[in-house]
Chain A
Amino acid sequence: MTVPVLQVQALRAYYKISSFGLDREVRAVDDVTFHVNANEIYGLAGESSCGKTTLIRTIAAATKPPLRVVGGSIVFNFAGRAVDMQKADDDTVAAVRWKHLSYIMQGSMSVLNPVRRVERSFVDFAFRHVGRRMAEFLDIVSDHLRRLDLSPDILSAYPHQLSGGMRQRVAIALATVCRPEFIIADEPTTALDVIVQNGVLAMIRDVQKELGSSLIFVTHDLAVHANLCHRLGVMYAGRLVEEGGTREMFRAPLHPYTAHLVASLPRIGNTEPKKGLEGTPPNLADPPSGCRFHPRCPLAREVCRAQVPPMVEVAPGRRVACFAVTPPARAA
């Protein structure tokens, strides 16, 4: 097997806040292990505030206090060159970013500076990473935009003159103009209606296919995941609870949380009312003991309260952290 482009090992990232002599620790990402292969779209699903954004921020080494990486490692492998984001110095990280690793931010509609023309944003953000002369760079940008069905005319427009979908596509164009090997997309389609969303998703897929890069795609919208991703990881309360190929995950979810997520999707012809999940997501400053899902889990048993279920590979490429699937005896 080839080396994965991204290998995340037992990553823990906490928000540490101390005010008025009181120390609080929010465990936004706890013990997460996964990898992303070359030329693959990896989906990250989970409800709001389950730590998705924190996880990818950490991966992009875009952490700032109070967020701190407490343990674990993040290793990228760009064309045979391994980069450990935790150990690498600032210059290395800066050299990797944008050229090899780009990040489409949450709310990426406002990635463009509202008082600068689009062209200036391209020059400001991407010019230095391309390493060509200005005229060549602008040619590259125009070509790239044309490939993404955007008229190069928009370069001379201000962001407010573009529609939401166009702005979104410009943001994606901006992130992919350097042809990075790894793209992180944090909810790039949340603010769009389904039709525009479809267009943007198709565009992301095309870009990914053309560049052959890897992509982490974060959203809480399972329909988007089903549509786009090769593999899917489901997060709950800062932990990865299940991972596998998208198709198998939807066909036969193993973790009770995933099962609920999948069951909540509307299906054509199905008129039964959907059952909601009792309770609310836990407070990450004071998470439940053992399995973090147990207060809401219909299958919860004694051991779930006491022990954290480990991530166990139940089938090739399929991992799940649940005692109901892998009883403690087998897990140990």
Chain B
Amino acid sequence: MRVVLDLFRYNREFAIGVVLLGFVVIFAALSFFSPFPPNDAFVVPPDVPPSWAYPLGTTSRGQDVFWLLTFAIRNTLLFGLAVALISRILSLVIGLVAGYAGGIVDRVLMSLNDTFIVIPLFPILVLFYFVMRDKMSWGLLALAMSCLGWAYDARLIRSVAMSLRTREFTETSIFSGMSMRQILTQEHLPYVMPIVFSTLMNNMNWSIGLEVTLSVLGFTDINTPTIGVMIYWANQHTALVAGIWWWILFPVLLVVIAFVGLFLLAVSMNEHIDPRSRLNRVTG
């Protein structure tokens, strides 16, 4: 706890990141107090500009932008987190095993890895949508994207694992009779955790960005409100032409805040988690 406080005091990136992300999370948490279910339309008068009654205005479909946005950002954040977590597990397992085992295992895993790196993601995801059509759901998309999003970071982790393999402490672990699984989880995993944390945030950013893009174009389940889906509906109702700017501006603003917050956290976390660089900050 003291660590977090210290970070907050001394690390400006961390402080700004926490404030921004905290704001977004609180906003998302407000969805639990929403007076309207997310998918109900025409519960308020349509097309009202921001006012005291409707702080962020209302949509052409008669939804309150403020309350709709709380649902949207909640789903978007959860989506990003789910993709990031699943793909982190994949890249950790594959990166560590490939780097440690080497030889034929490494070659097989890395050719798989390179295949995923060169695959064009966007057309695949669009294709995925056309195949799934009505069965398309939020969870399914998260799963598909995490299966596509692990490759870069697996390579990164592999490169670290390869150098760890030749260190004395690895040889000592082998000598003391630890199994490969024990070496990977007890000795190597703590070493790569900083990288994983930093890529976690970056991966969240990546997946949220991609999800917004897909949704805006209508290639996702458009009945679950997310930031992208909100913009999609705004476009469907030609909100900008009709002058309903608040329907587009506020979702975009909120997702940008979330982006910047995550990025700043990624940067500062990276510095902190490694105990060695933590000491550097104290002495230097």
Contacts and interface: CB of A to CB of B under 8 A. Distances in A.
A103 interface: yes
Contacts of B271: none
Q: Describe B's contact surface by its main secondary structure.
A: helix
Contacts of B177: 94, 97-98, 128-129
Contacts of A126: 176
A304 interface: no
Contact of A115 (B168, B174, B175, B274): B274
B187 A105 contact: no
Interface residues of B, number: 21
A125 B168 contact: no
A110 B167 contact: yes
Interface string A153-178: 00000101100000000000000000
Interface in A234-271: none
Given A116-B187, A160-B279, A110 B168 contact: yes
Contacts of B275: 114-115, 158, 160
Contacts, number: 67
Contacts of B176: 97-98, 124-126, 128-129
B168 A107 contact: yes
Interface string B160-185: 00000001110111111110001000
Contacts of A158: 275-276
Contacts of A128: 176-177
Nearest to B192: A115
A31 B221 CA distance: 73
18 contacts: A60-B175, A97-B177, A98-B177, A105-B172, A110-B167, A111-B168, A111-B169, A113-B169, A113-B191, A114-B169, A115-B190, A121-B169, A124-B178, A125-B178, A129-B176, A158-B276, A160-B279, A161-B279
Given A115-B276, A124-B176, 12 more contacts: A62-B174, A97-B176, A103-B175, A110-B168, A110-B169, A115-B191, A120-B186, A124-B173, A124-B182, A128-B177, A158-B275, A160-B276
